[in-house]
Amino acid sequence: MPLDLTTILAAHTRIRSHIHRTPVLTSASLDAANGGTLFFKCENFQKVGAFKARGATNAVFLLTPAEAAHGVATHSSGNHAAALARAARLRGIPAYIVMPSNSAKSKIRNVEAYGGRITFCEPTQQAREAACAKVIAETGAAMIHPFTDERVMAGQGTAVLELLEDAPALDLILCPVGGGGLLAGTAIAAKGVRPSIQVIAVEPSGAGDAAQSFQAGHIVPLDHAATIADGLRTTVGAPNFAIMQRHVDGVITVSEDSIVAAMRRIWETLKIVVEPSGAVPYAALLEKKLDVTGRRVGLILTGGNVDLDALPWVLK
């Protein structure tokens, strides 16, 4: 299916009864600290605790009966895994999930709670793909890729449709990037609704393949991811990168210290739980990587699945 504003609008109609319309929060103190007006789209309040519920639900409910007959499969570090397990349960089909062995315990518990059948693998992209291919060969399940599937991208883009309804006339959206599913949906939805808007991707410097790829003009594979933001430890997908090149205005990298500081600032100021991957956009503002003075800025807080026994500022 083509990924455009029409398919994202259709995805929103398809999934709206199965997801939360998450709130948009503001903070006068954070506005004052940054010089702009900030709007935080709180996908940490989404079903399964992350925006991934949108894309997985759209993909599963687009399957034909024949495609869905043997269930669905994917590989994921956690949030897409839980989202796919939940969507499969809503449709009454099994979900086979390959997870890296170093996945956060809270995310493993989420997948198990939704009935996902987990296979663990080594924490490399090659191991994830090989284990998932084996599972599909054994079960006949339909693959729902966490970010290169256009059905998933369309679902993820619905978050920005809501954001632009609740906070119109935004000048800029800051979006985390790992594989690029959310970024692709965000960029197409945002530019489709408001062509003048800027979309900036943000990622950890310890997993900075999107920034390197964007600058080089071709995909630079991520050899090793060294970041607390576990949802962003993957190489950007090929179709996602193509969309980035056409619709994204820039990519910013941020340090681990800034991610932890941003996470803590959001917890303390907005009084909400946000995971490291979700704090990455605000980290770009903490580092003063761009000037937002006088601008209306949307930030997507992508999830809130945190291991409360391993908070980064406590461990440090």
pLDDT tens digit string along 65-94?
999 999 999 998 789 999 999 999 999 999
Give residue 123's pLDDT: 84
Give residue 168's pLDDT: 95
Helix (H) or strand (E) segment spanning residue 100? strand 95-100
Give residue 282's pLDDT: 98
Give residue 158's pLDDT: 98
Give residue 233's pLDDT: 87
Reduced 3-state DSSP string for the chain = CCCCHHHHHHHHHHHHHHCCCCCEECCHHHHHHHCCEEEEEEHHHCHHHECHHHHHHHHHHHCCHHHHCCCEEEECCCHHHHHHHHHHHHHCCCEEEEEECCCCHHHHHHHHHCCCEEEEECCCHHHHHHHHHHHHHHHCCEECCCCCCHHHHHHHHHHHHHHHHHCCCCCEEEEECCCCHHHHHHHHHHHHHCCCCEEEEEEEHHHCHHHHHHHHCCCCCCCCCCCCCHHHCCCCCHHHHHHHHHHCCEEEEECHHHHHHHHHHHHHHHCCCCCHHHHHHHHHHHCCCCCCCCCEEEEEECECCCCCCCCHHHHC
Give residue 211's pLDDT: 96
Give residue 179's pLDDT: 94
The pTM of the full predicted model, rounded to 2 decimals, is 0.94
Low-confidence ranges of the chain (pLDDT < 50): none
Tokens 């043997």 belong to residue? 70
Using DSSP's 3-state secondary structure scheme, residue 23 falls into: coil
Give residue 95's pLDDT: 98
Give residue 225's pLDDT: 84
Which pair of structure tokens corresponds to residue 105?
Answer: 């315990």
pLDDT tens, residue by residue, 285-305? 999 999 999 999 999 999 998
For the chain, domains (ranges, CATH) are 5-50+150-315 (3.40.50.1100), 53-143 (3.40.50.1100)
